[in-house]
Amino acid sequence: MKTQFSILIPKQEVRRVDMYLSTLFPEHSRSYMQKLIEKWRLQVNGKVLDSNKRVKKWDVLEIEFETEKSHLQAEDMNLEIIFDNPDFAVVSKDPGVNTHTVPGEFGNTGTLVNALLHHFGNLSVINGVERPGIVHRLDKDTSGLILVAKNDRSMRELQKKMADRKIRKFYYAVVNGLVKDKEGMIESFIGRDPNDRKKMTTENPVNPKLAKTKFTLLEHIDNKYSLLEIELFTGRTHQIRVHMSAIGYPIIGDKVYGNEKVNKEIATKYGLERQWLHARRLILNLFSVDYNFVAPLKRDIAIVLEKNGIKVD
């Protein structure tokens, strides 16, 4: 499948064309753009471009992308749709479901993407044919809100807003321990654990990136745990789980960063077999319209609050 774009340079530019295009299409790297140039997939003013010349005002660029064919199948799975319009949708992911395909024999079935293809059909694939519509992701065992782009225009705009931190993301979490502060800000560098590449860490991380997390105490539970509202100011892998564990309040049920003894206690008492973490709210403006989305709690985590007399819609 091929996708073509024609672009008029509206102002004087001094960057090389590969740099200009990788800025215009941030989902593609400069090296990807260079390969397109080498394959004669880029024309400037009607002529094939065979080198990285500089673009100038009123140049017309014509670029042809090649998109590989997807082998993903649509699957009729349960999907909680919070919002849907011609540009984008908001869904509440179930726990135990991968957002998109993962390596392995059965890694391309039973994912959120398979469900999206069944319910919505064609979605934006500028993030790759294996991740149609996916603007951002959640961990497999985290439930809650995910944005889905239904066309390239909305995908570019949502990704830009996400990168510019103009989409506010709030989570509910239950952590081990009685948090004393009404609210707090955690700021540290997060990166791969040098001793286990599947884990992230704040201690001597590999390729560290700054991460900022704010928490607000909502309730104490059973004189052992705390219900928190958490806002992300950055979007690092496992950020909430790593940050809460780093300050001594790991999320209950977290098999990687949590307390094994507490996890067994929670599983026995409440039947909770995964981390108590739910993407609760998204606040954004898209195409000059303000949105505020809220996802009801999934049953498996709601029961922890209900048995302690705490009501959450």
Could you list the active site residues?
139
Q: What is the DSSP string of 70-92?
A: P---------EEEEE-SSEEEEE
Alpha-carbon dihedral sign for residues 109, 198, 179, 228: negative
Q: What is the DSSP string of 97-129?
A: --SS--SSTTTTSSSHHHHHHHHH-S---TT-T
Q: Assign 130 to helix, strand or coil.
A: coil
CA distance 240 to 231: 9
Burial class of 171 by CB neighbour count within 10 A (0 to 12, 13 to 18, 19+): buried
DSSP type of residue 185:
E
Do the beta carbons of residue 168 and residue 283 sit within 8 Å?
yes
For tokens 């990807």, the residue is 32
Alpha-carbon dihedral sign for residues 248, 246, 97, 78: positive
